[in-house]
């Protein structure tokens, strides 16, 4: 969709990357790190200053204590952290319970581990899951629960009660949990409950996050994971033969970012709240049915009021015909029919770009 957007000069509300830069201090820290000679392989677990900054951040925001020596590993983005975790924790034939629609690397990572995905479907308007469907998805072969809250692409933030049920089931069935929390600082309406803060979950959870969203540096690919020593070492062992290490100067810069004062983080979420409200109001005004996200920088909409049934067809046509790009949500389901009429728009874009996209959609509207 990004390639189609470029071909047709479309406003790209498809792929989730900001069209603006992150904090100046963080960008300057990357340049300083390069000039300071931090240009060779990092240690396998990541540069100490980043691991210490992650530990301090976890304590400061979520009251979670992790040892930077043994419980934190820097990764090539959250994507590698998820990939390496699944390669490390799964054997052939193991099952993974996850929620669909999902971030698309999950299914590929599960397949490459030789494991089997057992999706539980989140349905609009609120994208909550059905507790009985969740219980039914767990079998004796289930090994890992793969969570993502706040959730891409739906924007759902799982309420505490739902997370508590997941924690209860993880204990009951002795499951490991991989919790992708890359949108931890993008929650608008509810509270973010880090999964590892729930009773008994810290010792069985690999928590994953990334600099990509929080500091608007998706191109740097600096992520990290926090887990008890045995799990962290297992994931490190898989990661060693994927990338080994990456991005030494950017690891230094992200350490600076994690230490920014509170007003950076509050300003960040307020800016995005404004963008969410702007895009949701614009899309609603056009007549689309919009499922307002409680978190992330994505919103999904039902395109049927525009006279379309198939999101894939709609998104292939839209860049050329309307000059706007979006992503068909159906590609994030095991069975695409479940999300056929849904489309995802990203609002990590300047207000001018969001306004221009709405204006173009207004002209295009049937
Ligand atoms: N997890 C989720 C849920 C995401 O939405 C994304 C980005 N789209 C990632 C991971 C990727 O993070 P990174 O760029 O750090 O690999």
pLDDT, tens only, 302-343: 999 999 999 999 999 999 999 999 999 999 999 999 999 999
The answer to whether residue 366 scores a pLDDT higher than 80 is: no
Tell which residue, 254, 107, 96, has the closest CA to residue 182: 254
The answer, yes or no, to whether any atom of ligand 1 lies below 6 A from the CB of 181, is: no
- Tell me, what's the pLDDT at 224? 98
- Tell me, what's the pLDDT at 71? 98
Asked if 121 contacts 129 with a C-beta cutoff of 8 angstroms, the reply is yes
Neighbours of 312 (CB within 10 A): 16
How many whole angstroms from 303 Cα to the centroid of ligand 1?
25
| DSSP E strands, the chain | 11-12, 72-75, 95-100, 116-121, 142-148, 176-180, 205-210, 223-226, 289-291, 298-302, 324-325, 327-328, 342-346
- Which atom of ligand 1 is the closest one to the Cα of 103? 3
The answer, yes or no, to whether any atom of ligand 1 lies below 6 A from the CB of 103, is: yes
Q: Ligand 1 pocket check: which of 73, 210, 221, 243 to mutate, most ligand atoms within 8 Å of Cβ?
A: 210
Q: How far does CA 263 lie from the centroid of its chain?
A: 23
Whether residue 135 has a cis bond before it, omega within 30° of 0 = no
- Tell me, what's the pLDDT at 100? 98
The answer to whether residue 111 scores a pLDDT higher than 80 is: yes
Tell which residue, 91, 93, 147, has the closest CA to residue 116: 93
The C-alpha atoms of residue 8 and residue 278 are separated, in whole angstroms, by 24
**Kind of pairing, strands 142-148 and 95-100?**
parallel
- Which atom of ligand 1 is the closest one to the Cα of 222? 15
Q: How confident is the model at residue 67 (pLDDT cuts 50, 70, 90)?
A: very high
- Tell me, what's the pLDDT at 340? 97
Q: How confident is the model at residue 36 (pLDDT cuts 50, 70, 90)?
A: very high
Sheet containing 342-346: order of strands? 289-291, 298-302, 342-346, 327-328
Asked if 73 contacts 64 with a C-beta cutoff of 8 angstroms, the reply is no
Q: How confident is the model at residue 190 (pLDDT cuts 50, 70, 90)?
A: confident
Please state, for a pLDDT cut of 70, what percent of the chain lies above it: 100
- Which atom of ligand 1 is the closest one to the Cα of 151? 3
The answer to whether residue 72 scores a pLDDT higher than 80 is: yes
DSSP label of 190: S
- Tell me, what's the pLDDT at 297? 98
The answer, yes or no, to whether any atom of ligand 1 lies below 6 A from the CB of 249, is: no
Q: Ligand 1 pocket check: which of 106, 149, 182, 257 to mutate, most ligand atoms within 8 Å of Cβ?
A: 182
Residues 129, 195, 206, 45, CA torsion sign = positive
How many whole angstroms from 362 Cα to the centroid of ligand 1?
31
- H helices of the chain, where? 2-8, 24-35, 48-62, 77-89, 105-112, 131-137, 160-172, 211-214, 229-239, 248-258, 262-285, 311-321, 351-364
- Tell me, what's the pLDDT at 341? 97
How many whole angstroms from 101 Cα to the centroid of ligand 1?
14
Please state, for a pLDDT cut of 90, what percent of the chain lies above it: 98
Q: Ligand 1 pocket check: which of 98, 152, 153, 297 to mutate, most ligand atoms within 8 Å of Cβ?
A: 152
Residue 174 DSSP SS3: coil
- The chain-wide mean pLDDT, for the chain, equals 97
Q: How confident is the model at residue 346 (pLDDT cuts 50, 70, 90)?
A: very high
The answer to whether residue 38 scores a pLDDT higher than 80 is: yes
Distances in whole angstroms, Cα of residue 81 to Cα of each of 67, 129, 206, 278 = 18, 25, 9, 33
The answer, yes or no, to whether any atom of ligand 1 lies below 6 A from the CB of 78, is: yes
Q: Which residues contact 149 (CB under 8 A, 6 or more apart)?
A: 156, 157, 158, 163, 179, 181, 192, 193, 195, 295
Q: How far does CA 68 lie from the centroid of its chain?
A: 23
| DSSP E strands, 181-222 | 205-210
- Tell me, what's the pLDDT at 281? 98
The C-alpha atoms of residue 339 and residue 331 are separated, in whole angstroms, by 8
Name the one residue in this structure whose structure tokens are 């030789």: 114
Tell which residue, 223, 244, 220, has the closest CA to residue 30: 220
The C-alpha atoms of residue 300 and residue 227 are separated, in whole angstroms, by 32
Name the one residue in this structure whose structure tokens are 């045995």: 230
Neighbours of 21 (CB within 10 A): 11
> What pTM was computed for the model?
0.97
How many whole angstroms from 151 Cα to the centroid of ligand 1?
10
The C-alpha atoms of residue 365 and residue 308 are separated, in whole angstroms, by 11
């Amino acid at each position: 969709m990004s390639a189609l957007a470029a071909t047709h000069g479309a406003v790209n509300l498809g792929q989730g990357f900001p069209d603006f830069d992150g904090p100046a201090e963080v960008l300057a820290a990357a340049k300083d790190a390069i000039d300071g000679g931090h240009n060779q392989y990092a240690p396998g677990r990541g540069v100490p200053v980043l691991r210490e900054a992650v530990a301090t951040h976890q304590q400061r925001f979520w009251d979670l204590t992790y040892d930077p020596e043994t419980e934190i590993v820097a990764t090539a983005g959250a994507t590698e952290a998820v990939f390496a975790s699944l390669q490390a924790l799964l054997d052939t034939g193991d099952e993974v319970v996850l929620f669909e629609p999902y971030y698309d690397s999950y299914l590929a990572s599960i397949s490459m581990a030789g494991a089997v995905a057992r999706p539980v479907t989140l349905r609009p308007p609120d994208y909550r899951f059905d507790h009985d469907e969740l219980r039914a998805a767990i079998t004796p072969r289930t090994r890992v629960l793969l969570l993502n809250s706040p959730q891409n692409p739906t924007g759902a933030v799982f309420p505490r009660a739902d997370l508590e049920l997941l924690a209860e089931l993880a204990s009951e069935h002795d499951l490991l949990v991989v919790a992708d929390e890359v949108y931890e600082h993008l929650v608008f309406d509810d509270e973010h409950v880090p999964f590892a803060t729930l009773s008994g979950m810290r010792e069985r959870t690999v928590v994953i996050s990334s600099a990509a969203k929080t500091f608007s540096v998706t191109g740097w690919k600096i992520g990290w994971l926090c887990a008890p020593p045995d799990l962290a070492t297992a994931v490190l062992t898989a990661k060693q033969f994927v990338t080994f290490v990456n991005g030494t100067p950017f690891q230094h810069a992200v350490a600076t970012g994690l230490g920014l004062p509170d007003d950076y983080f509050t300003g960040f979420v307020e800016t995005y709240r404004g963008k969410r409200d702007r895009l949701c109001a614009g899309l609603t005004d056009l007549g689309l049915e919009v499922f307002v996200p409680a978190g992330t920088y994505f919103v999904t909409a039902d395109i049927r009021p525009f006279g379309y049934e198939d999101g894939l067809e709609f998104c292939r046509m839209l860049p050329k015909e309307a000059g706007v790009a979006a992503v068909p949500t159906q590609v994030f389901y095991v069975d695409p029919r479940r999300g056929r009429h849904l489309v995802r728009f990203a609002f990590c874009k300047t207000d001018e770009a969001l306004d221009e996209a709405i204006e173009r959609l207004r002209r295009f509207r049937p």
